[in-house]
Amino acid sequence: MSLLAQSIINGLITGSIYALVAAGYSLIYSTNNFMHFAHGISVVAAGYMVYWLFTLAGTPFYVTCIITVILSALFGLAMYRLIYLPLQRKGASNVILLIASIGILTFFQNVIQIAFGSGVKLIGYIEVAKGITFAGITMTLLQIVILVISFIIFIMLYQFMQRTKLGRNMRAVSNNKELASIVGINHIRVSDFSFLIGSGLAGVAGILVALEQNLSPLMGTNLMIKGFTGAVIGGINYVPGSIVGSFLLGLAENLGILVLPSGYKDAIAFSMLFLFLLFKPNGILGKKEGRFDK
Amino acid sequence: MRTGKFGKVAIVMLIILGILFTAGCTDTEEVTEDTGEDTITVGIMGPYTGGAAVYGNAAKDGAMLAFNEANLSNVEVIVEDTKSETKEAATAMNKMVSVDNVQAVVGDLISAATLAAAPIAEQNQVVMISPASTSTDVSDAGDYIFRTIPGDDGQGIFAAQTMSDAGYTKLALLYTNDQYGNGLATIITEEFTSLGGEIVAEETYEAGSSDMRTQLTKIKDANPEVVYIVSNTPDSSVALLRQVTEIGIEADIYGSEGLKVGSILELGDSVEGITITSVSPESEEFKQKYMDEYGEEPPAFAAQAYDAATAIIMAIEDGATNGEEIKDKLYEMEFDGASGHIKFDENGDVEGGYVLVEVQDGAFVTLEE
């Protein structure tokens, strides 16, 4: 029994990390309509920023977190303004932008590797110790914090998308870019904000991933693939959907290997990705008028 | 068009940096001047980027130390990065054989990568000496395939016997789902059960992944007395050991030599008392030489790479000029290397010895046998 309960908790922890990656990714996808795979590097860069500011330079932890989130947001904006937007203005198709995003991901992975080396980095803010056991479930304080922070962020994000003018504009652009332009919404400005907010979320994800796991230059690819899979499962053009999808993915991976040999963990994730792409490309909660079937 | 000048400049800069970076990957490190007709080209290949880069760079440094020391006028050394990927190893070997005309290669490290490159080397009569591939399959990879590290059979049997001698009867295995992990796990299972022990749980994970909580939860549920961990990437080693503590596994922890990386020591008290089965340590003389050159203690596989390079150098000094002659000399030679006594058997394997290393007060301490 406790094995099942513990696995559900493990799935939720994994899922919350996937969801933090997927939320920002899906926010950017829904307003810009191209695959921003370099989102993964925003997460990793944020993690290394924490390592640099906190572990190496000794900046207080909370200051480090604030600086990291702000710089991540600006990093995202810079990617849009310096690379994607100029390419779009030259009439580049979404495939070109996808390739450009993979290029950015690879490029910065190598920059990080040159700057920090290929070894594993530990933040060392929290001492490694046995988690708190409650009703047969063991969780560390950090994992509880991660779950709580992700829930708070997701609620805030949802409220923002539903209640604020900017959020409504984002949904309008996501829904129909031409129509949004006609009613006077500046889609470049909306894209600016989607990159700022989405990459800021990547900053939060980076901080939490750096604390919960370790840092290595190549971790971005894996995080991105899992975040993308979660987003597709839940509905890539709808932020709440991609969050739900990521939690489902985390649960499926961890519950799946209770029955199957653990070597099948990634196979479970990718089988789900294929099944959804084939039979439900808009995901569980994705909108019918989504771009995948156009 | 309103595309800012800055945007264009940034793109051009990215492209230029990209080219520079790619060019930097295949640097040719010439040891001496090319003297013309009888230059023998020797390659070093391994993962200098990617998950296993820490080990790859150590091996490259170790091998370069030997080549620089020998300073042979008729040897040119080239380096190829195989990026911790199997297909890259085959690509690198193909390139070295067809473009650079190499006769002997030190590398690869990862067993799967070595095995991917081995058929190409064998077919083209190029000698390959791996400083780190321990998979049992490497023994049968071909006449031209050697290694200066003993195979997994040795480590597996040693690990199983050590744990059995220590009185453990219920063992849980957690290993990477690849050639190395599966090979080692099979040998430990066979040996440990034949010694009267029982394998109570067997879990795997993908090399480089950092979330093994559910695997560890299953292991905890099986209530083992001891857990043996097989890891060959530092990412996974650190993540695993951290999660072992967090999940609260009470069993004693043993592990393969992949756990012997400096970064696990940063986990502090939680890794105290972990026991690692490791190949015999490098000679003091080599340790000193390496420290003088690179300013740090030699990481795993540096000594084995030094010996692999030394073997090739000795064969060339002895008059060998091509892959076939180097191969013949290798089967005849015998010397005391940095990593121990080197004598290749008919499979191109060395015997080697093992020791136990324990984490004590935040350092790796070799236990007296």
| Domain residue ranges of chain B, discontinuous segments joined by + | 6-149+283-351, 152-259
Cβ A14–B213 below 8 Å, yes or no?
yes
Locate the chain B residue with the closest alpha carbon to A119: B54
Give the separation between CA A197 and CA A195, rounded to whole angstroms: 6
Amino acid symbol at B275: T
Which residues, other chains included, contact A5 with Cβ-Cβ below 8 Å and sequence gap of 6+? Answer: A135, A136, A137
CB burial string B81-91: b at 16+ within 10 A, e below: bbbbbbebbbb
Cβ A11–B51 below 8 Å, yes or no?
no
Q: Which tokens go with A253?
A: 């991976």
- Ramachandran category for residue B102: left, alpha or beta (phi over 0 → left; psi -120 to 50 → alpha): beta
Tell me: domain B152-259, CATH 3.10.129.10, correct? no
Q: Which residues of A touch B2 (CB under 8 A)?
A: 89
The minimal CB distance from B54 to the residues A2, A11, A118 is found for: A118
Using an 8 Å Cβ cutoff, are A23 and A243 in contact? yes
Q: Which contacts (CB < 8 Å, 24+ apart) does range A267-275 have?
A: A269/A226, A269/A229, A270/A229, A272/A229, A272/A233, A273/A229, A273/A232, A273/A233
3-state secondary structure labels for all residues of B74-94: CEEEEEEECCCCHHHHHHHHH
In this predicted structure, what is the pLDDT of residue A290?
46
Q: Which residues of A touch B238 (CB under 8 A)?
A: 120, 122, 214
Using an 8 Å Cβ cutoff, are A43 and A76 in contact? no
Tell me: domain B6-149+283-351, CATH 3.40.50.1950, correct? no
Q: Which residues of B touch A10 (CB under 8 A)?
A: 213-214, 217
Give the separation between CA B253 and CA B229, rounded to whole angstroms: 7
In this predicted structure, what is the pLDDT of residue A19?
92
Cβ B49–A113 below 8 Å, yes or no?
yes
Amino acid symbol at A269: A
Q: Which residues of A touch B53 (CB under 8 A)?
A: 113, 118-119
- Model confidence band, residue B352 (pLDDT cutoffs 50, 70, 90): confident
The minimal CB distance from A89 to the residues B1, B54, B205 is found for: B1
SS3 state at A51 = helix
Convert the pLDDT of each residue in B57-110 to its tens digit. Answer: 999 999 999 999 998 889 999 999 998 888 999 999 999 999 999 999 998 999
In this predicted structure, what is the pLDDT of residue B34?
45
Range 235-294 of B in CB contact (< 8 A) with A: 235, 237-239, 242, 245-248, 261-263, 266-270
Give the separation between CA B53 and CA B208, rounded to whole angstroms: 12
Residue B68 CA, distance from chain mean position = 21
In this predicted structure, what is the pLDDT of residue B36?
47
Neighbours of A116 (CB within 10 A): 16
Which residues, other chains included, contact A176 with Cβ-Cβ below 8 Å and sequence gap of 6+? Answer: none
Tally: H helices and E strands in chain B: 11, 15
Asked if B205 has any chain A CB less than 8 Å from its own CB, the reply is yes
Give the separation between CA B204 and CA B229, rounded to whole angstroms: 10
Is ipTM strictly over 0.85? no
Percent of chain B residues topping a pLDDT of 70: 89
Using an 8 Å Cβ cutoff, are B226 and B171 in contact? yes
Amino acid symbol at B218: K
Asked if A186 has any chain B CB less than 8 Å from its own CB, the reply is no
Locate the chain B residue with the closest alpha carbon to A11: B214
Convert the pLDDT of each residue in B5-14 to its tens digit. Answer: 666 666 666 6
- Are domains B6-149+283-351 and B152-259 of this chain identical in fold? yes
Cβ A6–B217 below 8 Å, yes or no?
yes
In this predicted structure, what is the pLDDT of residue B29?
47
Convert the pLDDT of each residue in B204-259 to its tens digit. Answer: 998 878 888 889 999 998 999 999 999 988 888 888 998 998 888 989 999 998 88
Suggest the residue from A41, A265, A266, A268 to mutate for an interface test with chain B (most B CBs closer than 10 A). Answer: A265
Asked if B7 has any chain A CB less than 8 Å from its own CB, the reply is yes
Using an 8 Å Cβ cutoff, are B9 and B17 in contact? no
Closest CA to B54 of A218, A155, A246, A189: A218
User: Which residue reads 């063991």 in tokens?
Assistant: A138
Closest CA to B197 of B188, B206, B209, B208: B188
Q: Which residues of B touch A138 (CB under 8 A)?
A: 246-248
B15 has pLDDT over 70: no
- Shortest distance between the Cα of A153 and any Cα of chain B, in A, equals 23
Locate the chain B residue with the closest alpha carbon to A84: B7
Give the separation between CA A13 and CA A250, rounded to whole angstroms: 8
In this predicted structure, what is the pLDDT of residue B130?
95
Convert the pLDDT of each residue in B18-63 to its tens digit. Answer: 555 554 444 444 444 444 457 899 999 999 887 788 889 999 999 9
Q: Domains in chain A, start-ordered, CATH in brackets?
A: 2-293 (1.10.3470)
Residue A116 CA, distance from chain mean position = 23
Give the separation between CA B35 and CA B367, rounded to whole angstroms: 49
Residue B157 CA, distance from chain mean position = 19
Alpha helices per DSSP H over chain A: 2-32, 39-50, 61-79, 85-89, 94-116, 141-163, 165-175, 177-182, 187-212, 219-234, 239-259, 265-279
pTM of the model: 0.77
Give the separation between CA A152 and CA A158, rounded to whole angstroms: 10
Continuous segment of H or E residues that includes residue B11: helix B5-25
In this predicted structure, what is the pLDDT of residue B172?
95
Amino acid symbol at B294: Y
Continuous segment of H or E residues that includes residue A138: strand A137-139
Closest CA to B217 of A246, A192, A4, A277: A4
Q: In what order do the strands lie in the sheet with B40-46?
A: B28-29, B75-81, B40-46, B102-106, B127-130, B145-147
- Shortest distance between the Cα of A289 and any Cα of chain B, in A, equals 32
Using an 8 Å Cβ cutoff, are B173 and B224 in contact? no
Convert the pLDDT of each residue in B253-293 to its tens digit. Answer: 999 988 888 888 888 888 888 999 988 888 889 999 999 99
Dihedral, B343, B344, B346, B348 alpha carbons, nearest 10: 170
Q: Which residues of A touch B261 (CB under 8 A)?
A: 119-120
Q: Is the peptide bond before B336 cis (omega within 30 degrees of 0)?
A: no
Locate the chain A residue with the closest alpha carbon to B3: A86
Asked if B74 has any chain A CB less than 8 Å from its own CB, the reply is no
The minimal CB distance from B239 to the residues A86, A119, A214 is found for: A214
Using an 8 Å Cβ cutoff, are B34 and B73 in contact? no
Q: CA-based angle B121:B124:B125, to the nearest 5?
A: 80
Closest CA to B232 of B96, B353, B53, B65: B53
Q: Which residues of A touch B267 (CB under 8 A)?
A: 122, 128
- Shortest distance between the Cα of B19 and any Cα of chain A, in A, equals 11
Alpha helices per DSSP H over B140-203: 152-165, 179-194
The minimal CB distance from A86 to the residues B11, B57, B268 is found for: B11
- For chain B, what is the radius of gyration of the CA atoms? 22
The minimal CB distance from B263 to the residues A2, A113, A120 is found for: A120
- Shortest distance between the Cα of A160 and any Cα of chain B, in A, equals 31
Range 211-250 of A in CB contact (< 8 A) with B: 213-214, 216, 218-219, 222
In this predicted structure, what is the pLDDT of residue B24?
43
Residue numbers in chain A where pLDDT is lower than 70: 1, 287-294
Greatest distance between any 2 Cα atoms in chain A: 59
